[in-house]
């Protein structure tokens, strides 16, 4: 095992809030980086007010901010800006996810930051990026999803588009940002010079189009991505089928189609003119779905049907609820579900760390900070301020703290 975490020794000044930015620094905290979360007085990160809450403590905030230190300052006061300037000179990374222009108005745009610390890497996360006709607009996950053409392909074909009940764009944008920061820090080792990273939810969402964009473009518009409900519009059989008890996901891709026919006891379907190619199976999908669902109904349980498909290595899965996924033994064994203990909320489950390393120590239990909890520690221990200076800043409302 490694003697210390991979990012031990790296210090990040974190101007992020809500989800996309905190998702990036959450990963970096798990990897051992020293994350100093700058929160705006008087309330800090708005996600501190998100449900579920207990004793004014948000489980949402805790999940995204474990292992970070909180510095809560009134950024309208020039004295707080001097604190930030001092801090920038001691950090390797500055990350922010304000709307474009906000960090500049606060006095910490790229041109200022690079003068203060030429080796520092700055990462700006936004809905639409720092450049382009939409860059001035603010936005959240679903807004970028809509502009990326993703929302248009979610849902039933004869119904309005649907919303996925999880923040795919925010989280994956955070992962992309963490990845870009890793690359940029490697470049600092090579060149000795930092750079500015521009990461947008729109770009990261658009990157998820593994079929839609290239198929539409290469076909000259003949292949039009569309909402297809429970089944894929371009590959069959691929989708959600009714089982004897509930719903089952089956992906019999191309070479697996004959295997599915054989396990169904319907080898005649392999040469059936309606199903001989993927294109024909898509065109005759209603008949195909009826055949597969009829076969599934012959089993006493969903588990029995799934076992039959797993035995011949046709990819298949039950449609688990969140409660079932949290309790699943595989998810528990791998740490996909992680039980954490918070000093105010007690024990509860969160998604675990998705990155696994053969040579990285398991980190101790991490705590999310109280608002401004580390004000004095950061100013005295890192920046060399005296206790009297810190007390003066606290009394003047420049530094703010609260017990939640």
Question: What's the gap between Cα 360 and its chain centre?
Answer: 22
Q: How far apart are CA 190 and CA 181, in angstroms?
A: 14
113, 92 Cβ separation under 8 angstroms: no
198 is catalytic: no
381, 36 Cβ separation under 8 angstroms: no
Continuous H helices in 89-140: 102-105, 110-116
Q: How far apart are CA 142 and CA 2, in angstroms?
A: 40
Residue in 170, 187, 272, 342 annotated catalytic: 170
Comparing CA positions, the residue from 34, 28, 24, 64 lying closest to residue 46 is 64
Q: How far apart are CA 249 and CA 237, in angstroms?
A: 10
Q: CA angle, corner 187, sides to 181 and 192, nearest 5?
A: 115
Q: How far apart are CA 322 and CA 403, in angstroms?
A: 31
Q: How far apart are CA 348 and CA 370, in angstroms?
A: 18
7, 33 Cβ separation under 8 angstroms: yes
Q: How far apart are CA 22 and CA 48, in angstroms?
A: 12
Q: Which residues carry out catalysis?
A: 170
């Amino acid at each position: 095992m490694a003697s210390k975490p991979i990012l031990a020794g790296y210090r990040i000044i974190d101007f992020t809030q809500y989800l996309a930015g905190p998702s990036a620094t959450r990963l970096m905290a798990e990897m051992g980086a020293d994350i100093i979360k700058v929160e705006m007085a008087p309330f800090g990160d708005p996600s501190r007010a998100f449900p579920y809450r207990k004793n004014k403590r948000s489980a949402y905030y805790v999940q995204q901010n474990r292992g970070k230190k909180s510095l809560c300052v009134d950024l309208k006061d020039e004295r707080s800006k001097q604190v930030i300037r001092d801090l920038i000179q001691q950090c390797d990374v500055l990350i922010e996810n304000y709307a474009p222009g906000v960090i500049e108005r606060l006095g910490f745009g790229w041109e200022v930051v690079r003068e203060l610390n030429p080796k520092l890497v700055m990462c700006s996360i936004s809905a639409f990026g720092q450049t382009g006709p939409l860059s001035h607009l603010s936005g959240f996950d679903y807004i970028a999803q809509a502009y990326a053409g993703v929302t248009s392909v979610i849902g039933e074909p004869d119904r309005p588009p649907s919303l996925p009940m999880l923040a795919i764009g925010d989280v994956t944008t955070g992962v992309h940002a963490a990845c870009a920061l890793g690359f940029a820090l490697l470049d600092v080792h090579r060149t000795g010079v930092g750079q500015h990273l521009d990461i947008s939810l729109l770009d990261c969402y658009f990157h998820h189009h593994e079929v839609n964009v290239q198929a539409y473009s290469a076909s000259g518009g003949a292949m039009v991505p569309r909402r297809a409900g429970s089944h894929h519009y371009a590959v069959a059989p691929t989708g959600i089928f009714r089982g004897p008890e509930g719903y089952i996901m089956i992906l019999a891709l191309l070479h697996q189609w004959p295997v599915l026919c054989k396990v169904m006891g319907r080898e005649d379907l392999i040469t059936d003119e309606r199903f001989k190619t993927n294109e024909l199976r898509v065109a005759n999908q209603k008949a195909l779905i009826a055949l597969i669902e009829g076969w599934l109904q012959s089993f006493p349980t969903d588990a029995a049907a799934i076992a039959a498909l797993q035995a011949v290595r046709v990819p298949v899965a039950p449609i688990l609820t969140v409660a079932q996924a949290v309790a699943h033994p595989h998810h528990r064994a791998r740490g996909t579900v992680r039980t954490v203990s918070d000093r105010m909320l007690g024990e509860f489950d969160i998604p675990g760390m998705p990155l696994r390393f053969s040579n990285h120590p398991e980190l101790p239990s991490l705590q999310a900070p109280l608002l401004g909890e580390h004000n004095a520690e950061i100013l005295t221990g890192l920046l060399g301020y005296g206790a009297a200076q810190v007390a003066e800043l606290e009394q003047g409302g420049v530094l703010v703290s609260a017990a939640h």
